[in-house]
Amino acid sequence: MEVNIIFILGIIIISILVILWWSYWNKNKKLDTISKQLEKANIELRALDQLKNDFVSIASHELRSPMTAIRSYAWMALHKSDVPLSDKMSRYLIRVLISTERLINLVNDLLNISRIESGRIEVNPEPVDLIALIKDIIDEVYYSKSTEKNFQFVVLEKPIPKIFADPEKLRQVMLNLVGNSLKFTPIGGKIVFDFSTDGKTMEVSVKDTGIGISKDDLPKLFNKFSRLDNSYAAVSTSGGTGLGLYISKNLIELMHGKIWAASEGKGMGATFSFSLPVATKENLAHAEEFKDRAMGEAKELEPVAI
């Protein structure tokens, strides 16, 4: 009797173990199938993303050539015409010129985003004199734009170390930030550049006396094609695309830095700040760690328009 009970218990235990093993194997098989499906979907998504980048790059190149030709002919018709132009015709040509410039700027931004997102941008950091760079940018911007709005630029100079960054990428970021302040600051406004450092990183701020940003809008600033509800009119008149800050964020992060914005609200101006490594002996000794190599053929960034 006892032997039969033990035998039955053994059969039951073995049956339970078989059922558990079968359930475990079946679940693993399903998980393996799901994992393969997810892997396949990821490969397809990466391929689609690459196709998107290639399409944007090709389409942008194809758009830029005719747009450049239209801009050139519109400028020549406006400034080098063989016959006197009526006021109405001059206004039409000015509109053509401005609209074409906006399209070219949009194309350049799209090309830059495509190159950044596809890993075609190289970062080669070196010690950079930040104050000298900012003064150079102020000279460039002042004679091209600021005289139109009577802007005042203030650089709070102080002894600061050089930062460790790619000078061309840093210049692109600074032009984007200054251009952003110019777009959203009314006539007679002020832009102030300030610096602080703990010896390891340098914090740079660009503060304006513009229309300000609401707290709800601050998190949206560095998104692609970000367009804030309370600044739509300013964007539409300035020709902004919402891409400059997104590009700046990506470039700063490629240079091992951070970027952020602050504002006390509408009508209170805004401050855009970023931090980058200081060109210390330690960082210079490990320069290779700060470099970013291109995936495939390296491409230069298209110029920023203010």
More confident of the two residues 207 and 146: 207
The pLDDT-based confidence of 79 (bands split at 50, 70, 90) is: confident
pLDDT for 163: 96
pLDDT band for position 206 (50/70/90)? Answer: very high
What is the set of domains in the chain, with CATH numbers? Answer: 1-118 (1.10.287), 126-290 (3.30.565.10)
What radius of gyration, in Å, describes the C-alpha atoms of the chain?
Answer: 28
Tokens of residue 267, six digits:
């009508």
pLDDT for position 273: 97
Among 292, 197, 298, 282, smallest CA distance to 252 is for 292
Say what the pLDDT of residue 139 is. Answer: 87
Q: What is this structure's pTM?
A: 0.76
Residue (of 200, 194, 206) closest to 163 by Cα position: 200
Q: Would you say 146 and 139 are in contact if contact means Cβ atoms under 8 Å apart?
A: no
